[in-house]
Amino acid sequence: MRTSEKMWKQIAQEAQALRDETLAEVGVNIEISDELSGDITHIPNIMLSTSSARITSLVPQEIVSLVSKRIISAQEVARAFLERAVLAQKLTNCLTELLTERAISCAIELDAHLLHNSVPLGALHGLPVSIKSHIGIANRPLSFGYCAPFCSRPRPVADALVVQILTRAGAIVHARTTEPQSMMQLECASNLYGVTTNPYSNILMSSGGSSGGEAALIGLRGSVLGVGSDVGGSIRVPAAACGIYGLKPTAFRVPTTGWSSTPPGADPIVTVLGPMSVSLEGIEMFMKVVAAAEPWHIEPAIIPLPWRAVDIAPSREKPLRLGIIWHDEVVKPHPPITRALREFVDRVSSVPHVEVVKLSPYKHDEAWAIASSLYFTDGGEADMAIMAESGEPLLPLTEWIMKGNPGVKKLDRDELEYWLEEREEFRLEYSQHWNNTGIMNKASGTWENTVDAIICPVAPGVATKHNTAKYWTYTAVWNLLDYPALAFPTGLVDKAKDVKENRKRFMSNLDKENWKLYDPELFHNMPIGLQMVGRRFDDEKIIAILQFLKGHI
């Protein structure tokens, strides 16, 4: 009988050895200095061949177009992204494995298909796609931030449904990415693979999490489209931290069959899968492909909604109205976030027929009380048992979320019912809050001229120093409400503009703690993200609004 300690360390060694084998298959032999610090996003282009650097600088829609026109081959594309993913791993520790052989053979088939059929296989023909590791891949280990499942969990016999859908549309699944212990961190550290770092700061900062491997890999363009998951900010926080786009869709639009977690219909706060990409078009391509596959025939929890064309072009009669939440009345964001929001507001305010109104947050502190009470309704028992299985220690942010939150305890049935009813009540009240941005037409009973979307921070700061991401509410409130939310990049921190405020009064202790974390020197040149939020099932609409605004500012 091995000691517990030996068990988890041994599993981690095996997992990393497996990962390194798959990296070695690519045949990129480049040594990266351990001394590198600061922004390392420029490194891959220096180290890759011109061709690979050029291919990996393209956005998803360009790649599909060029491969479909046979200007470049799927094989060249796959190889270039595999090479760049190797570099990304060496720079940020973002991978759990590469799927080298699968990617190359898939690319060969795609090229052959095009040669014989003259039409691409689908809307993602030739596009490499990376996948967060708790989403199953046929015959590969399936862990979820913990050591024990890597060994003990049977390997899936088939790809997860979303992976099947992407593959049928012509995507080349080439990389699997890291995720933190418990999945419930807004950073990305596990005992299995260690810490994933931020491409813009190298070792100092977190890539964000829990989809931090995706964000770091895509931030370094080792992938241009990936699949993450989000129950409290896990797509949006890392997307913002690494300067990319990330969509948390409305629940039950993207299928989860074949992931490691429980069926989502049984969860009080539903974890969703969603796209992360270097481009907004990449986000939409993913959503369109998933909806077109009509996954509701396979996964009964999915709502049968096609991806709908939305016309949001504003006019004098129907202006586009954006509600701005400057801060949530609990924690004030760091200066660069507020500046970015102000600049965004200034720019969009000058677009004809766009109206910007200040929106009060509605009880975001209560939202966190409800959400945090519903995240671990077993008080974390199941998670503790999985850790005990291999003897792995709790990492600081796992300990914080499970043990430092008053809401997290094993609920009895009546407590669970209480929080579920609080959830429904909060959803109803927030809906009324949104309606109150407009006027009720008493004849029709409908609310008119309500805001079309909310713009707010993704988090109270940019990427965090390791083990400091403890304020979830800017993202988690939208999970509680099941509103679609889109993180988008909007410039970099500038220490000259974003000086630290000399605050003496705070809205809360959390506010003070967050204020202490800000350091203009440290955060200089880190990417800033903002969040656009829609009403439930308005996924199409928020993407269309951002596309429109990007075209006009």
The beta-strand segments (E) located in 191-319 are 194-195, 197-198, 202-206, 225-230, 245-248, 272-277
Site string for a second copy, 240-259 (x = CB under 8 A): -----------------x--
Instruction: Enumerate helices (H) and strands (E) in the chain, giving the number of each.
Output: 20, 17
Residues 365-384 that bind a second copy (CB under 8 A): 377-378
One of 17, 443, 504, 521 touching a second copy (CB under 8 A): 443
- Does residue 298 sit in helix, strand or coil? coil
**Which one, of 238, 243, 232, 244, lies nearest residue 208 by Cα?**
238
Q: Is 234 annotated as a binding residue?
A: yes
Question: Is 143 annotated as a binding-site member?
Answer: no
Residue 97 binds a second copy, judged by CB under 8 A? no
The verdict on whether residue 261 carries a ligand-binding annotation is: no
| Beta-strand relationship, 245-248 and 272-277 | antiparallel
CB of 301 to a second copy, least distance (A): 7
Question: Which of 16, 39, 45, 296: binder of a second copy (CB under 8 A)?
Answer: 296
Binding a second copy (rule: CB under 8 A), the pick from 444, 496, 502, 505 is: 444
Among candidates 133, 439, 107, which has minimal Cα distance to 260?
Answer: 133
Report whether 391 belongs to an annotated binding site: no
Q: Which residues are catalytic?
A: 132, 210, 234
Phi-psi category of 170—alpha, beta or left, where left has phi over 0 and alpha has psi -120 to 50? left
411 binds a second copy (CB under 8 A): yes
- Residue list 514-553, contact with a second copy (CB under 8 A): 535-537
> Is there binding between residue 200 and a second copy (CB under 8 A)?
no
Which member of 194, 300, 393, 404 binds a second copy (CB under 8 A)?
300
Q: Which is nearer to a second copy, 295 or 335 (CB)?
A: 295
Which H/E stretch holds residue 419?
helix 413-435
- Quick one: 95 or 411, whose CB is closer to a second copy? 411
**Binding status of residue 144 toward a second copy by CB under 8 A:** no
Task: Out of 13, 262, 449, 508, name the contact with a second copy by CB under 8 A.
Answer: 262
Residue placing its CB nearer to a second copy in the complex, 236 or 423: 423
Amino acid at 276: M
Nearest one of 117, 88, 82, 118 to 102, comparing CA atoms: 82
- Which of 349, 346, 337, 354 lies closest to 491, judged by CA? 337
- Round to whole Å and give the CA distance between 270 and 398: 19
- Beta-bridged to residue 259, according to DSSP, are 135
Is 431 annotated as a binding-site member? no
Q: Give the span between the Cα atoms of 77 and 126, in whole angstroms.
A: 7
Footprint on residues 159-188 left by a second copy (CB under 8 A):
164-165, 168
496 touches a second copy (CB under 8 A): no
Q: Which range binds a second copy by CB under 8 A, 56-64, 223-231, 270-278, 442-450?
A: 442-450
d(CA 244, CA 215): 7
Q: Is 390 annotated as a binding residue?
A: no
Per CB under 8 A, the list member of 424, 449, 501, 525 interacting with a second copy is 424
Contact 486, 532 (CB under 8 A): yes
- 10, 338, 435, 547: residue in contact with a second copy (rule CB under 8 A): 435
Within 8 A by CB and 6+ apart from 493, the residues are 336, 462, 520, 523, 524, 525, 526, 527, 528
Where is the binding site for substrate, in residues? 183, 210, 231-234
Applying CB under 8 A, the residues found at the interface with a second copy are 164-165, 168, 257, 262-263, 265-266, 293-294, 296-301, 303-305, 377-378, 410-414, 416-417, 420-421, 423-425, 427-428, 430-431, 435, 443-447, 450, 481-482, 535-537
Where is the binding site, in residues? 183, 210, 231-234
